[in-house]
Amino acid sequence: MLIKLILVSLVCKITHSFWLSSDPESINFNSPGPLRLECKYSSNVGTTFVSVQRIRIDKQVNGVWSLIAELVDNNQWSVISGATALGSLASPTSTYLEVTWNTVTPDLLGIYRCELIGLNSINDFIVEKTPSVTVAETPVSTATVSEIVKNETDAIRQEFEAYKTRTDQELSDILNLIRENQLSQLNYLEELSGNFTNQISSLSNNYDSLNARVTALENSGCGCSAGESTTQAPPALIGQQWPVGTYGLYQPQAGCPQDTSTTQWTTGYRRHHTVSGANMDEVSPGSHFAQPVLSTVGSNHYFFQRFCMVDSLSTGPSWPIGSYCINRKGGACPGGFNSGYIEIDDNGTDQDIVSGSLPDGTYSTITRIYYCCRVDGNAETPISLPNTRPFYLYRIGVVCQKVANMTVSQEWFLIDTSNANNLDRFENVWHPDAALNDIRIQLCYYSPV
């Protein structure tokens, strides 16, 4: 490819009192700068103009002179698109017209001239046309071409090396992720094996304990049969424990869940400072959330999210397959769940507070709460969880997961988040059914049959 420079040829006669010039005299298309044409009085030659009424610069296009820029009567301007112009008609010796293109393109190549119209000393109109200026292109030197080729080659090489580095890193990350997933799956299988062993041992111990109680009842002469005594607890409760892991559930008004194991539950809450004035905080009618949920002090409105947390690793069975979400605790979800979060844009943080044990998250300018969700089972197929007390699961997938020996109802709450430049958002698809820009989260409330 032949790279050329703009060469400006000036043709002028000493008898002309106005000259058209170009700056710079040559331009490299590969490193272009502004191109300026200027028509002005030459002090070397006297002028017959007493006053100038019009000055213009034209370009020859197909044998016809076409307007580039024009100044008439010192205040009427005409300028071609893509160019800027300056000028004055104050007096003949101070008359000038300057046209500038900030970007040089091939369509600027051609022949230019300047034309002036004015009055002489006897008030006759006179016209003066300057010598033409030819803007042409010339070949670049071999040394310059070599330098350009070298620079382009170096740039391509650097881009290739950067691409190779990125590709190598991405490949390494993929391989590491595969290894981590394989290790995670192996650990999960080992965890399942240990959980099954613990569950069998727990079932055996509970069976022995129940047999002893039945024998004691039969020998006590209470007048009731062993069958009547054991029905005081629903059949699904026998040997049932809350599943393995560290996690959290939304807290109901009845308190945190219980089971026959040693699972330890702690509580905590996040108080959100929500929109003042016309506040829209709300809970579904007949909800069973731990109180208080809504609070107002003066013009300030607050919404409380309350949680039941398992902070220490429990030894129960694995979580059953299904369609539901829980809160994440301890940096990772139990086996079978996927992690995601919801960010809540509170109305300022000066009055947001936290207390007790909370789900994984950040509790500062933006409240970020992590969830563990799964959709690997049919929500209509009942799963088995302890049924001594009510509890909540988060809904995912439009319908509530059924739980054996529990009735279920859908509930929700709405947090009126910031109105200005709202930053509510989801990390990914692994979160409870919810809406943004005023957070509305769907839950499922379970109570014993």
Sign of CA pseudo-dihedral 302, 308, 313, 316 = negative
- Residue length of the chain: 449
CA dist., res. 205 & res. 423, Å (int) = 52
DSSP, collapsed to helix, strand or coil, labels residue 143 as helix
- Enter the DSSP assignment of 403: B
Three-state DSSP state, 21: strand
pLDDT given for residue 365 in this prediction: 79
Tell me the pLDDT band of 337, cut-offs 50, 70 and 90.
very high
pLDDT score, position 10: 34
Q: If we measure between CA atoms, which residue out of 303, 307, 311 comes closest to residue 251?
A: 307
Return the pLDDT at 182. Answer: 66
Answer positive or negative: Cα dihedral of 194, 386, 246, 180. positive
Rounded to whole angstroms, how far apart are CA atoms 337 and 396?
A: 12
Cα–Cα distance between 81 and 71 in angstroms, integer? Answer: 15
Per-residue b or e along 374-393, where b marks 16 or more CB atoms closer than 10 Å to that residue's CB: bbeeebeebbebbbeebbbb
The whole-angstrom separation of Cα 319 and Cα 191 is 12
- 215-232 burial string, b = 16+ CB within 10 Å, else e? eebeeeeeeeeeeebeee
CA-nearest of 143, 115, 3 to 54 is: 115
Stated as kind and residue range, the H or E segment containing 369 is strand 367-375
Query: Residues 383, 320: contact at Cβ < 8 Å?
Result: yes
Handedness of CA 372, 378, 384, 390 (dihedral sign): positive
Rounded Cα distance between 396 and 419, Å, is 27
Q: What is the mean pLDDT of residues 404-428?
A: 94
- Region 210-229 average pLDDT: 44
- Residue 314: its pLDDT value, please? 82
The DSSP 8-state label assigned to residue 389 in this structure reads S
**Residue 349 DSSP code:** S
Query: Measured in whole angstroms, how far is the alpha carbon of residue 150 from the centre of its chain?
Result: 40
Q: Which of 111-120, 122-131, 245-254, 343-352 has the lowest mean pLDDT?
A: 343-352
- 315 forms beta bridges with none
Closest CA to 385 of 443, 283, 316: 316
148-155 mean pLDDT: 79
Q: What is the pTM of this model?
A: 0.50
Strand partners of residue 314: 245
What pLDDT, in 10s, does the model give residues 13-53? 346 899 999 988 777 777 677 999 999 998 777 899 999 99
Q: What is the pLDDT of residues 275-331, one digit of tens each?
A: 987 899 999 999 999 999 999 998 899 999 999 999 988 888 999 999 999 999 999
Q: How many CA atoms lie within 13 A of 76 on its CB side?
A: 6
Q: 4-140, which class in CATH?
A: mainly beta
- Written as six digits, the tokens of 428 are 């990914």
Look at 139 and 29; give whichever has higher pLDDT.
29
Under DSSP, the state recorded for 330 is: S
Please report, for the chain, the start and end positions of each structural domain, with discontinuous segments joined by +. Answer: 4-140, 152-232, 237-448
pLDDT digits (tens, 9 = 90+) for 171-206: 777 877 777 666 666 666 666 555 555 555 555 555
